[in-house]
């Protein structure tokens, strides 16, 4: 069964600690996801996501420019973040672990996404859609994103751990 990515009903968001106090939330506004889904045998499925590094949005233009700079994503030299699955392991009726390689700034490292199948539904226009949610946590320094500033009171300006939350919807073709 063929599925087409629905960008208007999908999101890639992230959360990072700021000054060890609060959480900064952001998203990437432009990305694509290719899904090869085997509904009967999910372990035979595969997914590839490509995220436009320049589309980062934290609702603060100066911070976004800094995140695009060589201190962080270096979007001019590395315009895409890429995830390619290597294995799918079903963990429950509607859950799975999707193992894959995440490439940021030319560095590729393994990650595991905890994925939940959110269901299938028929729209009022006769199309059928399917949805998934996924989450993972990464240490940004593992990809060379090491810029930081020590705080006078102890700790760091930017937390190392980044939580990534993804929601996707696909339309049956």
Tens digit of each residue's pLDDT (9 = 90 or more) over 120-155? 999 999 999 999 999 999 999 999 988 877 878 887
Q: Examine the pLDDT at 21 and tell me if it is beyond 90.
A: no
Q: Examine the pLDDT at 91 and tell me if it is beyond 70.
A: yes
Question: Domain-by-domain residue ranges, the chain?
Answer: 3-172
Structure tokens at 99: 């193992």
* Between residues 83 and 42, the one the model is more confident about: 83
Residue 1 — very low, low, confident or very high, per pLDDT cuts 50/70/90? Answer: low
* Parallel/antiparallel/unpaired status of strands 158-172 and 95-104: unpaired
Give the predicted TM-score (pTM) of the model. 0.92
- Rounded Cα distance between 162 and 146, Å, is 13
**Which residue reads 């990072």 in tokens?**
16
**Which residue reads 């894959």 in tokens?**
100
- Rounded Cα distance between 7 and 170, Å, is 9
Q: Calculate what percentage of the chain has a pLDDT beyond 90.
A: 80
Question: What 3-state class would DSSP assign to 84?
Answer: strand
Q: Indicate the CATH number for domain 3-172.
A: 2.40.128.110
- Rounded Cα distance between 69 and 125, Å, is 43
Report which of 69, 73, 93, 92 is spatially closest to residue 82, judged by C-alpha positions. Answer: 73
49 within 8 A of 78, measured Cβ to Cβ: no
What is the biggest distance separating any 2 CA atoms in the chain, rounded to whole angstroms? 59
């Amino acid at each position: 069964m063929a599925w087409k990515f629905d960008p208007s009903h999908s999101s890639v968001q992230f959360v990072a600690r700021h000054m060890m106090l609060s959480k900064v939330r952001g998203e990437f506004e432009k990305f694509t996801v290719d899904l090869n889904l085997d509904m009967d045998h999910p372990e035979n499925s595969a997914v590839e996501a490509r995220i436009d590094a320049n589309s980062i949005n934290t609702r603060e233009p100066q911070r976004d420019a800094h995140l695009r700079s060589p201190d962080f994503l270096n979007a001019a030299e590395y315009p895409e973040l890429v995830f390619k699955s290597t294995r799918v392991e079903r963990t429950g009726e509607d859950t799975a672990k999707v193992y894959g390689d995440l490439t940021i700034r030319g560095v590729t490292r393994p990650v595991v996404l905890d994925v939940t199948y959110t269901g299938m539904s028929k729209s009022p226009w006769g199309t059928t859609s399917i949805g998934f949610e996924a989450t993972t946590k990464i240490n940004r320094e593992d990809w060379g994103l090491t810029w930081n500033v020590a705080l006078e009171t102890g700790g760091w300006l930017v937390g190392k751990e980044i939580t990534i939350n993804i929601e996707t919807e696909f339309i049956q073709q």
